[in-house]
Amino acid sequence: MRGWPIVWVALVGVLFFAPADAVADGAAFAGRDLTSLRSIEQGEQRAAIAHQDGVERLIIAMSLELKNEDRALWVFPLPGDPEQAKLDVLEVFPDFGGRDVVQHARQRIEAFMVQVSATQVYPVLIGRAMGIRRRVPEVAGAGGVASPVSVYSEMPKYGVHAETVTARSLADLAGAGGGASPVTVYSEMRKHGVHAEAVTARSLEDLAGYLRTKQAAVPQEQIATLSPYLKEGYFLVLAWVASREELLEEFSQYGEDSYPGRARWPCLYVEFPTDRAFYPLRATCGYGSSTIPVTLFVMGHVRAKTAPPLAKHLRVSYREQNRFWRTTPRELVAGFPDEDVPYTTITISTRAENFTDDLWFLPGGPRRIKYARMIGWLTSPPQVSLYWLFAVALASYVCAGSSALLLYHRWRGYAQMGFWNLLTFVAFAVRVFIARGEDGKRLPQAGSFIFLFTATYIILTMLAYMALLAPLL
């Protein structure tokens, strides 16, 4: 066939022009004074988690619904050695706004295949009517036990008080009679009107007795969900608003209906040793039929591990963020790259009674995440133009040759006509109509050849689209 110089000119031309009410999970109590606290429901739980070198850094946005109350108590368990626990109150919750890598890859594939099919001139919006089902998050398993009430660390700062503790049972935590309290305080923190402690306790009775020494009277039955954690290997974080006035003085927007984004907001920071990243959920099941939304941001791509009944309520999104705002607490992002930071978002919106287990996290996302990130790179400039050129040229060559086999029982001499499709379907049609066979006559059934070519091209494009999407499902 003649016309190869024109085809090469077309190839060069195409190559040049081608295209966040509770502080965290646990139990919350409130009252006008700590001597008569009642259990209060939690609103959205919003937390950020970073785990590196056997240490977890946990940031929890405090959002207890205090209304007109000026005192509140919050208790939640954590794994690890309480002697190494560190407490603080931060002024800003990290700002997360990255893109979903799977959704981004799907959009890139769709845009790429639309460009490939656009050579047919008429709109072929392949893929737009085809959606990707949201994948149920991968779950690895379950687990967790607990430890007696002891305070291991304490940090006073800006009127907020925090301590780390452990307890043997609910009775230890709720408190018993007189005598020396079998509760050990390992760390303590006071800042911005908040007081927090890290403690351990031998029993619920011991813990309840310790709380009474803090003028915090909590009925033992209200902290029964903490019983599994009163064993060795866990400690308790006790946090309470010691001065609502001081808290509101530092955070004027605190107490409004919703978390205000990048505005200053009190956040409890806990650093503790653990082999795997952890977030407590089971202690919240005491709220029964109340719905408590949970939003977790975990640095890096991770897989959630929990009991199967709870796993079905998880919604996991793997994301990447170009960079974090300068106001992002360095305590969270230290050791992570400054650009293209991967993180995992986990959301739960179900009744508290479904929180039958805690969350553990294993590093590394599912295989489709690696594929999605590869697609994101391949379909980025400038390499996407080369892939587009190759895809259109190959598909056009194959479709023209296969169409000629059906009509003329020959491949050679006809398949090369497909390259004219690089200049759109119109150029291909014109080339077919003016082409002449070996006998010098115009091609017979030229219209059928053109129709077979475009039909085959669209079918091949749709199959390629589905094949590219399949690993993302």
**pLDDT tens figures, 57-90:** 999 987 655 555 545 678 899 999 999 999 999 9
Alpha helices (H) along 28-129: 101-117
Q: Using 50, 70 and 90 to split pLDDT, how confident is the model at 216?
A: low
Tens digits of residue pLDDT in 241-272: 877 788 888 887 665 545 445 557 788 999 99
Cα–Cα dist 210/222, whole Å? 15
Between CA 439 and CA 444 the distance in angstroms is 11
The pLDDT, as a whole number, for residue 261 is 52
Axis-axis angle for helices 101-117, 383-408 (nearest 10): 50
| CA atoms within a 13 Å half-sphere pointing along the CA-CB vector of 379 | 22
Pick the residue with more confidence: 3 or 23?
A: 3
Nearest to 44 by CA among 304, 401, 439, 352: 352
Reading the block at residue 16, the tokens are 């040049």
**For 290-312, how does the pLDDT look when each residue is reduced to its tens digit (9 = 90+)?**
888 889 999 999 999 999 989 99
Query: Does a cis peptide bond (omega within 30 degrees of 0) precede residue 123?
Result: no
- State mean pLDDT over 205-209: 82
Q: What is the dihedral of CA 218, 223, 227, 232, to 10 degrees?
A: -60
pLDDT of residue 41: 42
Rounded distance, CA 455 to CA 176, Å?
81
* pLDDT tens, residue by residue, 176-201: 444 445 888 998 888 888 889 999 98
Return the domain boundaries, the chain.
27-95+139-368, 381-472
Interval 446-459 mean pLDDT? 92
Residue entry with tokens 């010098």: 440
3-class secondary-structure state, position 14 = helix
pLDDT digit string, tens, across residues 162-175? 444 444 444 444 44
The pLDDT, as a whole number, for residue 63 is 65
More reliable by pLDDT, 357 or 156: 357
Confidence at residue 182, expressed as pLDDT on a 0 to 100 scale: 81
d(CA 410, CA 407): 8
Q: What is the mean pLDDT of residues 302-330?
A: 89
Q: Which of 329-343, 394-408, 423-437 shows the highest mean pLDDT? A: 394-408
Rounded Cα distance between 176 and 437, Å, is 102
Question: In 38-183, which residue ranges form alpha helices assigned H by DSSP?
Answer: 101-117, 170-174
Residue 157 has a pLDDT of 42
Q: Is the pLDDT of residue 454 over 70?
A: yes
For the segment 132-161, the average pLDDT, to the nearest whole number, is 40
Range of lowest pLDDT (148-157, 344-353, 357-366, 409-418):
148-157
- Average per-residue pLDDT in the chain? 76
Concatenate the DSSP letters of all residues of 402-435 into one string.
HHHHHHHS--TTTGGGGGGGGG-HHHHHHHHHH-
pTM score above 0.85: no
Among residues 58, 56, 40, 37, the alpha carbon closest in space to that of 48 is found at: 58
The CA-atom distances, in angstroms, between 396 and each of 97, 126, 237, 378, 433 are 40, 17, 65, 21, 17
pLDDT of residue 219 exceeding 90, the answer is no
